[in-house]
Chains A and B, each alone.
Chain A
Amino acid sequence: MIKTDPLRFIAILLALLTIVAFGHMLAWSLWTLPPEAAGLSLIVNEKMPESGVDAQVTAILLNFRSYDTLLELVVLLVALLGAWYLGKLHLPPQDSKPGLVLEGLVRFLVPVMILVTGYILWLGSHAAGGAFQAGALLAGAGVLMLVVIAEKVAVRDGVRLRALLVAGPGVFALVAGGLMLSGKLMLQYPQQHAGSLILLIEAASTLTIGITLTLLFAGGRPHRGKTD
């Protein structure tokens, strides 16, 4: 683990001492912080009725600080693009065919997971939940499919797949742009439509997050068709 090159050993020792010193200073800074502070929670409470949803974290992510969420969805896409242009995906090697029980379980579980995904997405408007949690669950279903029943899963590169990958940030950006064209500021939802717009954006994002994370697990871009 630690190579016995003396120069490196000394360098690592010095680094570790620095880290310990830094840790102490950080701990002291944290200790000086007031243990009780409302932060922005008061303002959030106050503005919640205008947000279009009943859950505070969802309101922040999709309304008050929606710009952050838009950029973060692009970050996710960019990570996939990095993997995409590095090489093709590789599905796990199938040394032994999955047993009947495992395959049957997966065939049962995946639709259930998709249903729960929809439920969690809808739940986000008034409780803990939302696009990211739902998308992660959807990705779990995708990974399960890839690992267990790989050959039966046909993932083909093409405009449809790419449109789904872009849908989350794409819909978000189109809503932002559309609002700007209609005279409002970027992402300033008209109050009566706020809830529906948020649901629309979250639905598209759930699909995108699920498929993007699954493809990231697979590690690259899918084949383009039978000739590729």
Chain B
Amino acid sequence: MSQFLWYALIGAVLLCIGLAGLVIHRHLLRRILALNVMSTGVFLVFVALAKRAGEVPDPVPLAMVLTGLVVSVSATALALVLIVRIQHLHGSAELPGDDA
């Protein structure tokens, strides 16, 4: 198994674990953590792709991961502020009503 495939598969597993976490948990903090695990999985796939170019990794997927990381951090930060707000307003960190 090539180095690329090994890490890419780990990324895929992380993605699935994150997805499962998102589905199972209702607590919003766990859900945002699950989403972060998913994004880590996706970024790992990208980084694995870079390794396919040989000894010197392909810089384009690496740059994309950097961009994706900043986006992910921004979204997570906003989500956390919102979750704190919900906890403050409703007394519990779960979404009211139906959830999926």
Q: Interface residues, chain A, CB within 8 Å of chain B?
A: 1-3, 12, 15-16, 19-20, 22-23, 26-27, 30-31, 33-41, 44, 56-57, 59-61, 65, 68-69, 72-73, 75-76, 78-80, 82-83, 86-87, 132, 213, 216-217, 219-220
Q: Which of B66-95 contact A (CB under 8 A)?
A: 66-67, 69-71, 73-75, 77-78, 80-82, 84-85
From A36, A39, A65, A82, give the contact of B81 (CB < 8 A). A82
Instruction: Report whether A40 and B60 are in contact in the complex, using a CB–CB cutoff of 8 Å.
Output: yes
Residue numbers of B with Cβ under 8 A of A are: 2, 4-5, 8-9, 12-13, 15-16, 19-20, 23-26, 45, 49-50, 52-54, 56-63, 66-67, 69-71, 73-75, 77-78, 80-82, 84-85
A216–B81 contact, CB under 8 A?
A: yes
Residue contact A39 to B13, C-beta cutoff 8 Å: no
Total residue contacts A-B, CB cutoff 8 A: 125
Least distance between B54 CB and chain A CB atoms (Å): 7
In the docked arrangement, what's the CA distance between A12 and B75, Å?
26
Secondary structure dominating the interface of B: helix
**Contact call A15/B71, Cβ cutoff below 8 A:** no
Given contacts A1-B25, A35-B52, A72-B71, contact A41 B58 (CB under 8 A): yes
